[in-house]
Each structure stands twice: as C-alpha cells, then as structure tokens.
C-alpha cells in the first residue's frame, strides 16, 4: 500500500514537471516569436525610410579602410559618430564620441569630443577635428584621435540623425521627460532647420528631443550641445531600462539597425548588448574634451572659429579616463 502511494506521488510529480516544462517551452517560443516579429517590423519601416540615404559603396569603403586597434579582453572602445546625410550625399559628422564598455569591471564610459577642437589631421595640417571625417571618413578621424590624444579605438558606429527620432518614438511613444532650461529658437530655412522649444519640464518626442540636443544658438554654443547630449543619453538609458521600455527594445533595435553604419560584427554587437543589459552599470561615466580650463577661442581663415587646446593636458585626461587601471574618482562626472 505504501509502495503504491509512493509510486502515485512519483507519477504526479513527473506529470507536473512535464506540464511545467511544456509551459516553459511554449513561453520561450512565444517570447522568441515576439522578439523576431518586433525586430523585423522596426527594421522594415526604417529600411524604407533610409532607402534614399544609403550609399553601400561608401559604407563598404569605410569598413575596408578602418584599421582600428585590436580589442583588449573584456574592454571595447567604439568611435560613435552622429551624422547628417542628404539624399545620396556625403554624410557630415555633427557629434564625435568614444564609448567604452568594460565587461570585466561592469563599467560604461563615454567621451564627447567637441567638433571645433583644433588638432593635427594626418596629411591635412591643422583644422577642426570634425574636418578629419570630411577628409577621410572614420579611419582618418581614428588616426587623428590617436595622434593628438594617444587613444585608439576598436570599432566605429555612424548613427544617422534621421534614426534618432524614430528610435525615441519607438522606445517612448509618449516622449522623454526633459527640463528645457531656456527658450530655444533657431531657424535655418536653407538647411531646413526650425527649432522652437519653450522652457520648462515637458515630454519631448523624437523630433523635439533631437532639436533640444542639437541647439547651439546661445552663449553655451557647442558646450551646451555636448552637455545636453549627455543629459539625453541618461534619460534614454532610464527609459530603456524601465519595464515598458524593455518590452519595446526588440522593435527599437530593429529600427536602429538601418540607421547605423558600423564595422562591428553582429555577434560582437549582440555579445556587448547582452552583457550590458544583463548586468547594467549603475552609471555611465562621462568626460568632455577639451577639459575645463584647457582651451581658448581662436580664429583661422581656413577653419573659422575654433577651440585651441592644451594638447598635453587633454591627452593625459583622456588616457586617464579610459585607462582600466585608474580609480573611479579620477574620471569625469557620471551620468546617473
């Protein structure tokens, strides 16, 4: 009798285990189907939008020319470029950053390099750093950063600003909450730019958030733009890590892909993203180049208004910030 009861209990346990196993498999299949569907939907819409702006021949040339440094174990440096591109035209870089993610120490860092920084461009003399991209694409910009600051990168990622609006609207359909610090108004009819933002705490959609990031017609000029770039990155990070933001992530990734031109392999991207979202750093540490007190305004006939810099001070600051061995209190301000 006792043996019979034990056998019945074993059968019930096995039956329950089998049911839970089937439920888990079904859940996994549904989740996988959802991720694939959302990704494909986002990618399809973005591809249609970018059809007139993609130059595959130029993209292939950029990838072939790029000679980035060998990747250090557990640490990746990516040259991140925000670009504008006219229909079938040459892209122009409007934002220059270096992103670093260290999986071993679970640390994320971002360096914003002001585009008017006056530097030596290999083979082209001295000019604004964003001129390096115009002269020779990501590879010449990589060489310029290495020559002037002693820092190399492993990969590049060019993000078309057309994609920024769609990504924001995908992740946060109701907008991103931003405290606009002042009235922002700027009109460039020739360039098709019309920025008109009122001050105060408000939710900005993708178009208005991009206007907020790119505005420079005030006393802060590019300094304000860099500050706002880092502010918006923090806000986007918080939205993505929220439950609703995470559920929209597959579509957002699909939306992002056609707007990004990179030499990173898909496997590398997936590995970095998996590590980041499975063990998200508490903050994104940030640094601006040039650092405070190390620059002054100048003007040259061939370059216009520029930022002359103390090359040694800025080189040491950048190397120290990205050095794996440095202590946290030697880095720049964090993005919480």
- Report helix, strand or coil for 183: coil
**Cβ contact 328:276 at 8 Å:** no
Q: What is the pTM of this model?
A: 0.77
Rounded to whole angstroms, how far apart are CA atoms 189 and 6?
A: 83
163 vs 8, 83, 134, 157, 195, CA distance in Å?
Answer: 60, 10, 21, 13, 18
- pLDDT bin (cut points 50, 70, 90) of residue 2 is low
**Cβ contact 145:312 at 8 Å:** no
- pLDDT bin (cut points 50, 70, 90) of residue 37 is low
CA-based R_g, the chain, Å: 24
What is the pLDDT, as a whole number, of residue 329? 44
CATH number of the domain where residue 96 is located: 3.40.630.190
If one compares 174 and 275, the residue with the highest pLDDT of the two is 174
Tell me: pLDDT of 186 over 70.
Answer: yes
For 45-96, what is each residue's pLDDT tens digit?
666 666 666 667 888 888 899 998 876 667 889 999 988 765 555 667 888 9
For 138-169, what is each residue's pLDDT tens digit?
999 999 999 999 999 999 998 887 777 887 88
For 197-255, what is each residue's pLDDT tens digit?
999 999 999 889 988 988 887 777 778 888 888 888 888 877 776 655 566 667 777 77
**Cβ contact 256:163 at 8 Å:** yes
If one compares 151 and 194, the residue with the highest pLDDT of the two is 151
Rounded to whole angstroms, how far apart are CA atoms 91 and 77?
A: 22
**Cβ contact 177:213 at 8 Å:** no
- Report helix, strand or coil for 186: strand
- Cα-based torsion angle of the residue sequence 152, 156, 159, 160 in order, rounded to the nearest 10 degrees: 110
What is the pLDDT, as a whole number, of residue 75? 83
Residues 6 or more apart whose CB falls under 8 angstroms from that of 21 comprise: none
- Does residue 86 belong to any structural domain of this protein? yes
Mean pLDDT over 39-44 rounds to 68
Mean pLDDT over 267-287 rounds to 74
329 vs 51, 182, 304, 333, CA distance in Å?
Answer: 46, 32, 37, 9
- Does residue 63 belong to any structural domain of this protein? yes
Rounded to whole angstroms, how far apart are CA atoms 283 and 132?
A: 31
Rounded to whole angstroms, how far apart are CA atoms 324 and 322?
A: 6
What is the pLDDT, as a whole number, of residue 332? 43
- pLDDT bin (cut points 50, 70, 90) of residue 335 is very low
- Does residue 17 belong to any structural domain of this protein? no
What is the pLDDT, as a whole number, of residue 86? 56
57 vs 90, 163, 176, 257, 312, CA distance in Å?
Answer: 12, 20, 36, 18, 38
Q: List beta partners, residue 113.
A: 96, 289
For 103-149, what is each residue's pLDDT tens digit?
888 888 999 999 999 999 999 999 999 999 999 999 999 999 999 99
Alpha-helix residue ranges (DSSP H) falling in the chain = 2-50, 56-65, 130-149, 161-171, 206-214, 221-241, 243-247, 249-256, 266-278, 311-322
Exposed, middle or buried, 272 (CB in 10 Å: 0-12/13-18/19+)? middle
Show the tokens assigned to 277. Answer: 């979202």
Rounded to whole angstroms, how far apart are CA atoms 146 and 315?
A: 10
- Does residue 33 belong to any structural domain of this protein? no
- Does residue 211 belong to any structural domain of this protein? yes
Tell me: pLDDT of 35 over 80.
Answer: no
- Cα-based torsion angle of the residue sequence 101, 105, 107, 110 in order, rounded to the nearest 10 degrees: -50
What is the pLDDT, as a whole number, of residue 223? 84
What is the pLDDT, as a whole number, of residue 237? 75
- pLDDT bin (cut points 50, 70, 90) of residue 336 is very low
Structural domains in the chain (count): 1
- The whole domain housing 269 covers 52-335
What is the pLDDT, as a whole number, of residue 333? 46
Tell me: pLDDT of 306 over 90.
Answer: yes
Average pLDDT, the chain: 81
Task: Find the helix packing angle between 249-256 and 161-171, rounded to 10°.
Answer: 170
């Amino acid at each position: 009798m006792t043996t019979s009861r034990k056998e019945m209990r074993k059968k019930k346990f096995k039956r329950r285990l089998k049911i839970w196993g089937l439920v888990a498999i079904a859940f996994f299949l549904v989740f996988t189907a959802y991720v694939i569907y959302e990704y494909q939907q986002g990618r399809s819409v973005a591809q249609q939008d970018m059809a007139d702006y993609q130059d595959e021949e130029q993209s292939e040339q950029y990838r072939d020319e790029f000679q980035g440094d060998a990747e250090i174990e557990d640490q990746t440096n990516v040259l991140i470029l925000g670009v504008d591109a006219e229909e079938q035209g040459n892209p122009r870089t409007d934002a220059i950053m270096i992103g670093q993610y260290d999986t071993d120490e679970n640390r994320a860092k971002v360096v914003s390099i002001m585009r008017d920084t006056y530097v030596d461009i290999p083979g082209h003399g001295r000019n604004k750093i964003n001129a390096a991209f115009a002269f020779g694409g990501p590879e010449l910009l990589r060489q310029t950063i290495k020559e002037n600051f002693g820092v190399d990168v492993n990969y590049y990622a060019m993000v078309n600003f057309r994609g920024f609006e769609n990504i924001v609207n995908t992740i946060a359909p109701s907008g991103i909450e931003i405290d606009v610090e002042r009235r922002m108004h700027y009109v460039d009819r020739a360039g098709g730019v019309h920025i008109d933002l009122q001050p105060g705490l408000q939710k900005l959609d993708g178009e208005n958030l991009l206007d907020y990031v790119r505005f420079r017609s005030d006393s802060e000029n590019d300094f304000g733009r860099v500050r706002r770039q880092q502010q918006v990155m923090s806000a986007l990070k918080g939205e993505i890590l929220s439950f609703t933001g995470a559920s929209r992530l597959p579509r957002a990734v699909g939306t992002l892909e056609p707007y990004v031109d990179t030499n990173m392999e898909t496997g590398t991207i997936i590995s970095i993203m998996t590590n980041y979202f499975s063990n998200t750093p508490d903050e994104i540490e940030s640094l601006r180049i040039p650092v405070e007190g190390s620059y002054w305004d100048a003007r040259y006939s061939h370059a216009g208004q520029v930022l002359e810099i103390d090359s040694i001070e800025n080189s040491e600051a950048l190397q120290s910030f990205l050095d794996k061995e440095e202590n946290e209190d030697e880095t720049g301000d964090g993005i919480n």
